[in-house]
């Protein structure tokens, strides 16, 4: 199949009007059977490396059926690779979600490809726990991480830690060779956060949220990340978690090559207003805002493709938003050699967007799985 007339994303040059060829599930150098897609944007399928749930399901439930529902919904939104996130849970539940994920990957079920697990907890600060369940917080533990790596059959790719906790820097040094360590849910000051990055942490979980503010005399985690080349920064662009001006400023400060758009969605994504749960806690959803009973923001209900559109509406160039939602997450997870761009030889996972950036079609391994061309 040859898609002709569309604006095709290129990581180095932005968008170019050219043909995009798909053969045998891969991006190809040539193909027959032309399909015209004038006025459309062709982008790689997105990779969400931080989301908790959707369509009434939550990864922390440890339900095989729920994970299958989540994978199919994400694929329908142009998210072709997923790395679902756990919460702060008891060890037995963390083991269960790891085993569920490993079984899902082995079964080769329909939906977005499961490429990793993100452990957002339990090594977090009680002072900045946000919507995490404080009853299950604990000090960083390499032995627990090893048990979860084993239960997941190596699927754990990211682990969050508050670097001010006792033993955190030793944990970071020990874990950095196995997984990506992300600074998160922390009251750390600039010096402590900088020490974490110098010890091997390479990411910040939902920058600005659940951490001290970026002040002109106390720059905190944000300032330390800015001063640490190579540290990647997650940003939730749902119009709730971070102000548009801050989104624009952060892309300028960090550069698009260090930005990671994430959705941080909970089970209410793809559903309506109402009452839900997140990590065992009650959450109320009204419109695009999800909150605990005390008003604390509790995750998002905006899928990653919608976050991409929102970022563009804030003034982020489309090529930069695609880089942050498709290219960079694939690099973090070690899968960029086969997904994350539209280079010849990679899996033909892509989204076709109309002029308004609404989904027209989703292709997964070369097959149209949602919409039409």
Write out the catalytic residue numbers. Answer: 264
- Kindly give the pairing relationship between strand 117-119 and strand 85-86: parallel
Lookup: tokens for 185: 């849910």
Q: Is 241 annotated as a binding residue?
A: yes
CA distance 365 to 272: 31
Residue 59 near residue 67 (C-beta atoms within 8 A): yes
Q: Is 50 annotated as a binding residue?
A: no
CA distance 204 to 354: 32
In the three-class reduction of DSSP (H, G, I as helix; E, B as strand; rest coil), residue 335 is classed as coil
Q: Is 217 annotated as a binding residue?
A: yes
| Neighbour order of strands in the sheet with 289-291 | 274-278, 281-286, 289-291
Q: Is 127 annotated as a binding residue?
A: no
Q: Is 299 annotated as a binding residue?
A: yes
Q: Is 201 annotated as a binding residue?
A: no
CA distance 172 to 154: 18
> Under the phi-then-psi rule, with left for phi > 0, alpha for psi from -120 to 50, and beta for the rest, what region is 56?
left
Q: Is 209 annotated as a binding residue?
A: yes
Q: Is 321 annotated as a binding residue?
A: no
Q: Is 210 annotated as a binding residue?
A: yes
Q: Is 104 annotated as a binding residue?
A: no
265 beta partners: 300
Question: Residues marked as binding?
Answer: 120, 131, 185, 206, 209-210, 217, 241, 297-299
Question: Residues marked as binding for substrate?
Answer: 131, 209-210, 217, 241, 297-299
Question: Residues marked as binding for Zn(2+)?
Answer: 120, 185, 206
């Amino acid at each position: 199949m040859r898609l002709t007339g569309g604006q095709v994303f290129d990581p180095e040059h932005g968008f170019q009007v050219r043909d995009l060829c798909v053969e045998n599930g891969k991006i190809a150098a040539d193909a027959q059977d032309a399909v015209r897609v004038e006025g459309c944007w062709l982008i790689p399928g997105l990779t969400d490396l931080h989301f908790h749930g959707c369509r009434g399901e939550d990864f922390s439930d440890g339900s095989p059926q729920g994970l299958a529902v989540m994978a199919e919904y994400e694929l329908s939104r142009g998210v072709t690779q997923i790395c679902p996130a756990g919460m702060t849970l008891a060890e037995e539940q963390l083991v269960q979600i790891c085993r569920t994920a490993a079984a899902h990957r082995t079964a080769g079920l329909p939906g977005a490809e499961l490429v990793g697990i993100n452990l957002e907890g339990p090594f977090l600060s009680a002072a900045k726990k946000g919507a995490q369940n404080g009853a299950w917080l604990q000090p960083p533990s390499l032995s627990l991480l090893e048990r979860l790596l084993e239960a997941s059959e190596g699927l754990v790719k990211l682990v969050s830690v508050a670097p001010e906790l006792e033993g955190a820097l030793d944990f970071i040094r020990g874990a950095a060779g196995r997984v990506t360590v992300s600074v998160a849910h922390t009251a750390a000051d600039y010096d402590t956060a900088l020490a974490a990055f110098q010890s091997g942490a390479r990411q910040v979980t939902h920058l600005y949220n659940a951490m001290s503010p970026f002040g002109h005399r106390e720059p905190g985690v944000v300032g330390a990340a800015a001063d640490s080349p190579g540290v990647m920064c997650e940003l939730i662009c749902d119009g709730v978690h971070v102000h548009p001006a801050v989104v624009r400023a952060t892309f300028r400060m960090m550069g698009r090559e260090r930005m990671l758009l994430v959705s941080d969605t909970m089970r209410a994504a793809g559903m309506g207003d109402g009452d839900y749960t997140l990590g065992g806690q009650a959450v109320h959803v009204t419109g695009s805002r999800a909150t605990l009973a005390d008003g604390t923001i509790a995750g998002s209900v905006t899928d990653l493709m919608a976050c991409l559109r929102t970022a563009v509406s804030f003034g982020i160039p489309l090529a930069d938003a695609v880089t942050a939602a498709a290219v960079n997450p694939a690099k973090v997870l070690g899968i960029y050699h086969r997904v994350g761009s539209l280079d010849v030889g990679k899996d033909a996972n892509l989204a076709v967007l109309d002029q308004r950036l609404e989904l027209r079609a989703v292709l997964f391994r070369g097959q149209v799985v949602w919409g039409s061309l």
